[in-house]
Amino acid sequence: MIPWINIADKFPVRFDTQRMLDEIAQIEDGVWLEHYDVTLSRGWKAIPLISLDGRLGDPEAQRPGTLDQFKPTVMLEKMPYFREILDAFKCTKGRVRILKLAPGAGIGEHRDVGLEVANLAFNRVRLHIPVKTNPQVVFVVKGERIHMQEGGLYYVNFSHLHHVRNDGPTERLHLVIDAEANDWLWQFFPKPTIVDRVGFLAQRTFLPMFWKMRRMHTVAMTWAWRNWNGSAPQHVWRLLKGQRG
């Protein structure tokens, strides 16, 4: 299966980006949340429409979780056209956000893992509907630059390495929907080939093992640094290298 695809032509609903912009314009600046991982993003803000337990007031509400943990927020009640759009998706929805990337802002290279995975192999997808963008947005997935058109409906396999940067003069606004890929949603994708199915099985088998090993490595390195930093052996090592302090 290719790493990304625009399924808007097959989808039964068209998205009126001007109506979406009109509703977004009613959002007060102070309501936008920073991303929960400040080490990864800069100038990336969100409005949760569906969040963990329907929470709205803190960035942690944007964290990934199981699909049954997500509930609509009060913001969705105030945005009837966005509710209409989400009602068109006849599948279980998880986290749903309006994401804003300011000019000069970006998100560092990473891949999504565990509960955050957006990969058809796991029947979990993350769908992007670009509401406002510009040609200077740099969005790279698996080494390929993608330019998403306003009003499109894009699936991207975010278990691949990806990053985004807004080099343009205007903000980028996307509606981003995490959802279960049920039979209804699968009908808008190309039918998987035998090679695709084998690839899905391999990913379901080996990616969780990779995620676990990476997590163990991170925990081990964190523990090692915590015990090394400021320790007597570190002091001796610095003295041997001619460093002070």
Architecture of the structural domain at 4-186: Sandwich (2.60)
Tell me: the pLDDT tens digits for 47-85? 999 999 999 888 888 888 888 899 999 999 999 999 999
Q: Rounded mean pLDDT of 193-212?
A: 88
Lowest mean pLDDT, pick from 55-64, 136-145, 155-164: 55-64
pLDDT at 245 over 60: no
Dihedral sign of CA atoms 8, 12, 17, 22 in order: negative
Which tops the pLDDT comparison, 118 or 153?
A: 153
pTM, full prediction: 0.86
Domain boundaries, the chain: 4-186, 194-240
The CA-atom distances, in angstroms, between 190 and each of 13, 186, 196 are 18, 8, 10
pLDDT band at 151 (very low <50, low <70, confident <90, very high): very high
> Could you tell me the two tokens for 92?
């279980």
Query: Which pLDDT band holds residue 236 (cuts at 50, 70, 90)?
Result: confident
Distance of CA 94 to the CA centre of its chain: 12
**What are 4-51's pLDDT values in tens digits?**
999 999 999 999 999 999 999 999 888 899 888 878 888 899 999 999
Q: Residue 53: left if φ>0, alpha if ψ -120 to 50, beta else—which one?
A: left
Reported confidence tier of residue 217, pLDDT bands at 50, 70, 90: low
On the question of pLDDT at 126 being above 80, the answer is yes
CB-count exposure of residue 44 (10 Å: 0-12, 13-18, 19+)? buried
